Structure 1
């Protein structure tokens, strides 16, 4: 544990805090496909780390998440994070290991995006047994502005504390910038400092190329191209069209937003190219017409990779 001065960190990051403190302030967290952030890993600053949003997936908890691929220039390893936004909050999925060899996902609150000074929420710490425990809390410490990529950004400084509040930190401050995302992130023994980003196809700061890893069938990737459904919204019959990069065994299923499986097509082998499948808008188990609403179409391949597509049913 380290006792850290909030003032010294603020000065180090050249932040200014003259404006707002009592009213709630809303921050936009840009979790769009294709967005990319490149960080220096401190305190030594010779490792570059990239975070990139590569798609969507439905996890076992029935919730849809953005997939964030994490790579670094000194390692061939690839890590994945799963995040989603709901009600001005960012949630991150975390695995729960179920003996002997199963994994189920739940989630924790990573960031609140509509906050005022002093707001707090539980902090997910990691125990020695590898399980996650809410053993601390995050507190909103400061608002201000920061210059990055030739413009100024509204920002918020978050501190992470133990329970009970001893004034000791798990990690240094985390800094979020409105419409940019994480400017500074922290981990045990170090931190990440933003050096460049691509947000909605616009570049900020400095980026360097990190060599792409060879395809790994155990990772969730875009194994299919141009997945779509028509018509959308659907009134009577849904037609699913997708294009495969390579021959694969595909399972197509439809879920409601609670994660309940509505219909599942028999899995079958498909070749390279464009394929079409149709669905009559009925629950497979009861053959009843389904009510209007938003549904999720999933494609799962032979390596248990999954892609997801939303569509609307109108009755």
Structure 2
């Protein structure tokens, strides 16, 4: 359901991808490299970074494109700020992709406090601190440019194209419709969504003839990666029943695409400029329409409004089915499906 692109190109753009060493982050980096962008990826694992760097290099349009990888824990404020400040080029676009819940699935009652803290660090702080660091660098760059412009009043008639400053958060449908078993993850992703919505308006403060600031949020639905498979192995049986992820890999492949399949769709959807970015599958479209809240609808809002009307009726039935599955689940020990099993 993605509309045609608004225009523009990634040719020559500098793109930073936090969490670009694996999964969707890596696949989107490859797509953007194939469209002419200079790519820098950030992650904690050096071996994965090097492997991803090689794959992204192979996807470039030409050898003149820069590809770099930086090992850093971007969920730590000082590290994120120092790491981005140390880069030789400012980004035009920052993708905050780091996250996931490979070891944090489970019911709230059963999880240790460290699990919630780890999940928040991996999914919220890993977006917050790089976004804050990028904003500070961009705003300072604009202030310096404005001061330089005032010093050269004789050149005031020179027209300079506005720079693009864009932050793209990768979120999850788990933030739109939280399900049992995702207590740590859904809360962290809900925080990230709120951050994206807040920055969407705050960034307008910094938009000027020098630069245009925008924020977008990708609501990714289930797709297959090694992290997804690890996560699925750790999910409670109840969660698997509700979201229908109980099958073997062959069954999952019939239901969900691999990250490489949806990455081009998502990069194309980002180019439309809508705040909410979704892949082309119907299910994420419906979930977004259900939970759009105060966020801006896509395009003119017609499709999201109509889908919202549909979900107004459909979700009543879905909600009751979810509640029926949950009711008394912890006590059905004879089925081997109670608790966190």
Q: Same fold (TM over 0.5)?
A: no
Higher relative helix content: 2
TM-score with structure 2 length normalisation? Answer: 0.24
TM-score with structure 1 length normalisation? Answer: 0.26
Name the structure, 1 or 2, with higher relative contact order (CA <8 Å, separation 6+).
2
